[in-house]
Amino acid sequence: MNTAHPNRPYKPSQLSLGFPAKEPTLDALLVTEANESALAVLGAPQSWPFPVICLLGPPRCGLSVLARAWCQEFEGSYHVAKEFSRLKSRGLAALASGFVAVDDADRVKKSENLLTLINSATAEGGHVLLTSKHHPSQWQTQSADLKSRLMALPVIEIGEPDEKMLKERLESAAERYFLKLEPEVIKYLVPRLELSYEAIEIFIEKLNDKVTEAGRAPSVPLAREVVEELGWADPDQRSML
């Protein structure tokens, strides 16, 4: 447990050395009611009703992590929207029979690339995972053909976190800042934080600032300061957030 000398600022016991993050796997992901249905579908592409599927989720829920884990599981190729927009015909053809994920697919500027991939994967037996925070019916495109295909896509969704997910995501987010949340801190936070991934990230970012300012390790009093500043101090108010 990290302790601080009265006259010295608190410093994390670990330093960021820039080591590459380990690639995620589907098996390593936490499963709760918030994501179990989506993970079950992702893990069984042979059972998909259509070779292309769209994964939706709220902001900061980890869509990119899920897409990467899916590619890791099935030896697929992962593409962000900007990179995918730059692919030429030959590159798209090479993807048609394999597993490919396009992250933030609604941001793909070159809509004909999406149309080509959907059509090619359907013809060649590939599997395509498109991720987005918005339903495909809301994606902006001038192509009537693409619009038609997007409207017909099967959709799976990641829900907002339940309390089990909230606890695990709190600890995971804290670790990214080299913060250790003791059990009493977690116990205090779980009934008070809004059940959303954004709320978790906002809280941890502000807690990290408090730790830096105060020069001491995370504690219930320090967590309470952040919670009160965010207006989440009363557990009975959480359902109204």
The whole-angstrom separation of Cα 12 and Cα 210 is: 13
* Residue range 24-37, pLDDT digits in tens: 678 778 889 999 99
The whole-angstrom separation of Cα 102 and Cα 94 is: 15
Averaged pLDDT of the chain: 87
Determine, yes or no, domain membership for 54. yes
Q: What is the CATH number of the domain that holds 202?
A: 1.10.8.60
* pLDDT exceeds cutoff 60 at 15: no
Question: Looking at residue 235, what is its pLDDT?
Answer: 59
Determine, yes or no, domain membership for 230. yes
Count of structural domains, the chain: 2
CA nearest to 202, candidates 165, 183, 220, 177:
177
One domain, residues 123 and 198? no
Sheet holding 77-80, edge to edge: 77-80, 99-103, 127-132, 52-56, 155-157
One domain, residues 178 and 142? no
Question: Looking at residue 2, what is its pLDDT?
Answer: 37
The torsion angles phi and psi of 165, rounded to 5 degrees, stand at -65, -40
Residue 203's domain comprises 163-240
CA nearest to 67, candidates 42, 32, 94, 34:
42
Which of 139, 157, 175 terminates a domain? The answer is: 157
- pLDDT band at residue 200 under the 50/70/90 scheme: very high
The torsion angles phi and psi of 69, rounded to 5 degrees, stand at -65, -40
* Residue range 142-165, pLDDT digits in tens: 999 999 999 999 999 999 999 999
- pLDDT band at residue 225 under the 50/70/90 scheme: very high
